A = this chain, B = another copy of it.
Amino acid sequence: MTELRRAAGAARGRSSVPEATVARLPLYLRVLTSLADRAVRTVSSETLAKAAGMTSAKVRKDLSYLGSYGTRGVGYDVDFLLGRIAAELGLTEDRTVVLVGVGNLGHALAGYAGFRSRGFRVVALLDVDPDRIGESVGGVAVSPLDEMEALVERNQVTIGVICTPAAAAQAVCDRLVSAGITSILNFAPIALSVPVGVDVRKVDLAVELQILSFHEARKRSAPATGGVAAPTRSPGRRAGGRSGESDDPRLAMVTRAPTGPPTLGTRGTGPLVGTTGGTSGAATGAVTGAKTGGEAS
Contacts and interface: CB of A to CB of B under 8 A. Distances in A.
Which of A44, A91, A199, A293 has the most chain B CB atoms inside 10 A of its CB? A293
A144 interface: no
A11 interface: no
Interface in A155-187: 158-159, 161, 163-166, 169, 182-187
Contact of A79 (B46, B106, B248, B261): B248
A9 interface: no
A209 B185 contact: yes
Contacts of A141: none
Nearest to A12: B218
Contacts of A47: 249-250, 253, 272-273, 275
Contacts of A210: 25-26, 29, 89, 91, 118-119, 292
Given A183-B215, A267-B82, A292-B207, A297 B103 contact: yes
A187 B14 contact: no
Nearest to A39: B262
